Amino acid sequence: MSINSPAGEELSALIAAAGVNMAASGSIPAIRRVAIFGGTHGNELSGVFLVKHWLKHGGEIARPGVEVRPFITNPKAVEKCVRYIDTDLNRVFDSQSLSSDDVGKLPYEIAQAQKINSLFGPKGSKDAYDVILDLHNTTAHMGATLILESSTDDFNIQMCKYIQKSMAPLPCAVLLIEQPGVKYETTRSIAKHPIGVEVGPQPQGVIRADILYIMKIVVQYALDFMQYFNEGIEFPPCSIEVYRVLEKIDYPRDDNGDLSAVIHPTLQDQDWKPLNPGDPMFIAMDGSITYYEGEETVYPTFVNEAAYYEKKQAFVKTEKVTLTAQSIHCNSV
Ligand SMILES: CC(=O)N[C@@H](CC(=O)O)C(=O)O
Ligand SMILES: [Zn+2]
Query: Any idea which ligand is nearest the CA of 178?
Result: 1
Alpha-carbon span 249 to 236, nearest angstrom: 38
Distance CA 25, CA 175 (A): 26
For residue 63, how far is its CA from the centre of ligand 2 (angstroms)? 26
* Ligand with an atom nearest the CA of residue 138: 1
- ipTM confidence: 0.99
What phi and psi values does residue 286 have, to the nearest 5 degrees?
-85, 5
Q: Where does the chain show beta strands of DSSP type E?
A: 27-28, 33-38, 67-72, 131-137, 143-148, 172-176, 193-200, 238-249, 262-263, 280-283, 289-291, 315-325, 329-330
In Å, how far are 92, 262, 291, 312, 313 from 288, measured between CA atoms? 39, 11, 10, 21, 20
State the Cα–Cα distance between residues 90 and 135, nearest whole angstrom.
11
User: Looking at residue 23, what is its pLDDT?
Assistant: 38
Gap from CA of 209 to ligand 1 centroid (Å): 21
Q: Name the residue of 90, 137, 315 to mutate for ligand 1: max ligand atoms within 8 A of Cβ.
A: 90
Other Cβ atoms within 10 Å of 256 Cβ, number: 6
Ligand 1 pocket by C-beta < 6 Å: which residues?
41, 90, 136, 138, 147, 186, 196, 198, 305, 307
Strands 315-325 and 238-249: antiparallel
Give the pLDDT of the chain (333 residues) as one tens digit per residue: 333 444 444 554 554 444 444 434 689 999 999 999 999 999 999 999 999 999 999 999 999 999 999 999 999 999 999 999 999 999 999 999 999 987 678 999 999 999 999 999 999 999 999 999 999 999 999 999 999 999 999 999 999 999 999 999 999 999 999 989 889 999 999 999 999 999 999 999 999 999 999 999 999 999 999 999 999 999 999 999 999 999 999 999 999 999 999 999 999 999 999 999 999 999 999 999 999 999 999 999 999 999 999 999 999 999 999 999 999 999 987
18 Cα–ligand 1 center, Å = 35
pLDDT of residue 10: 54
Instruction: Please give the Cα distance from 46 to 38 (Å, whole number).
Output: 8
Question: In the prediction, which pLDDT does 14 show?
Answer: 53
pLDDT of residue 96: 97
Atom number in ligand 1 closest to CA 175: 9
Q: Residue 201's pLDDT is what?
A: 98
Report the atom number in ligand 1 closest to the C-alpha of 44: 3
CA of 28 to the centre of ligand 1 (A): 29
Q: What is the predicted pLDDT for the residue at 293? A: 97
Ligand 1 pocket: which of 82, 198, 204 to mutate (most atoms within 8 A of CB): 198
Atom of ligand 1 nearest to the CA of 305: 1
198 is catalytic: yes
Q: What does DSSP assign to residue 63? A: B
Nearest atom of ligand 1 to the alpha carbon of 306: 1
Tell me which of 109, 149, 198, 305 is the catalytic residue: 198
Instruction: For residue 189, give the ligand nearest its CA.
Output: 1
| Amino acid (1-letter code) at residue 295 | E
